[in-house]
């Protein structure tokens, strides 16, 4: 499991406001290239957004979905970059004082294949990536960087995807 923390000069509601805008993920998640579509109601449990991830010429199109949401203190996601990885990512916001928040980010492999990529040997690299992601999230929450503007097309969730989501095991406890 990769674990990271960062303190932000913003209230938990401001941090969660960034997380609640799917357009922001292209700006703060290292490796994210674009957010293509999003379900209305993001980040309610069961909603998702489609993204493109990659480095250099390698591009993967997949989606991330909200599994648990308790604004403004918790967002648990199932993040996919198949065929490489599927991970549980938990973001917790803890209020330190009136205007400061600690963001804690934990990432676990979500399936057997992902354990090959997300294992104790790769944890230092995942932590390094997540440290940079949290640094970028901090800049957005503190309003030092802008969230991308424009509208996202609605994501068309089909019945098959809903069945898949409702039949998978629960994420590990935080």
- Per residue in 114-162, pLDDT tens? 777 767 777 888 899 999 999 999 999 999 999 989 899 998 754 334 3
Element (H, E) at 83: none
pLDDT of residue 171: 52
Q: What is the CATH classification number for the domain harbouring 116?
A: 3.30.530.20
Query: Has residue 164 been placed in a domain?
Result: no
Of 170, 36, 7, nearest to 97 (Cα)? 7
pLDDT of residue 172: 57
pLDDT of residue 31: 87
Query: Has residue 84 been placed in a domain?
Result: yes
Dump pLDDT digits (tens) for 21-76.
999 999 999 989 999 999 999 999 999 999 998 878 888 889 999 999 999 999 99
Q: What sections of the chain are H helices per DSSP?
A: 12-19, 25-28, 112-117, 123-141, 159-167
Burial of 153 (0-12, 13-18, 19+ CB in 10 A): exposed
Residue 173's pLDDT band (cuts 50, 70, 90)? low
Per-residue pLDDT averaged across 6-13, rounded? 98
Query: Has residue 135 been placed in a domain?
Result: yes
Per-residue pLDDT averaged across 13-24, rounded? 97
- Other residues' Cβ atoms within 10 Å of the Cβ of residue 162: 11
Q: Which domain holds residue 30?
A: 2-150
Query: Has residue 161 been placed in a domain?
Result: no
pLDDT of residue 27: 95
Query: Has residue 22 been placed in a domain?
Result: yes
pLDDT of residue 123: 81
- Other residues' Cβ atoms within 10 Å of the Cβ of residue 135: 13
Query: Has residue 162 been placed in a domain?
Result: no
Query: Has residue 38 been placed in a domain?
Result: yes
Domains contained in the chain, number? 1
Dump pLDDT digits (tens) for 64-122.
999 999 999 999 999 988 777 899 999 999 999 989 999 999 999 888 777 777 677 77
Query: Has residue 169 been placed in a domain?
Result: no
pLDDT of residue 34: 92
31: left (phi over 0), alpha (psi -120 to 50) or beta: left
């Amino acid at each position: 499991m990769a674990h990271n923390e960062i303190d932000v000069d913003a209230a938990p509601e401001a941090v969660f406001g960034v997380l609640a805008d799917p357009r922001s993920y292209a700006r703060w998640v290292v490796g994210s290239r674009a957010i293509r579509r999003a379900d209305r109601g993001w980040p309610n449990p069961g909603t998702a957004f489609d993204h493109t991830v990659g480095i250099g010429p390698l591009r993967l199109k997949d989606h991330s979905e909200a599994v648990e949401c308790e604004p403004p203190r918790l967002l648990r996601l199932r993040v996919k970059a198949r065929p490489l990885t599927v991970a549980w990512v938990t973001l917790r916001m803890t209020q330190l004082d009136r205007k400061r928040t600690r963001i804690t980010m934990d990432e676990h492999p979500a399936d057997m294949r992902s354990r090959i990529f997300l294992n104790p040997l790769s944890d230092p690299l995942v932590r390094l990536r997540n440290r940079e992601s949290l640094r970028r999230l901090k800049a957005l929450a503190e309003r030092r960087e802008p969230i991308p503007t424009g509208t996202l097309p609605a994501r068309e969730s089909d019945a098959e995807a809903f069945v898949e989501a409702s039949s998978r095991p629960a994420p590990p406890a935080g």
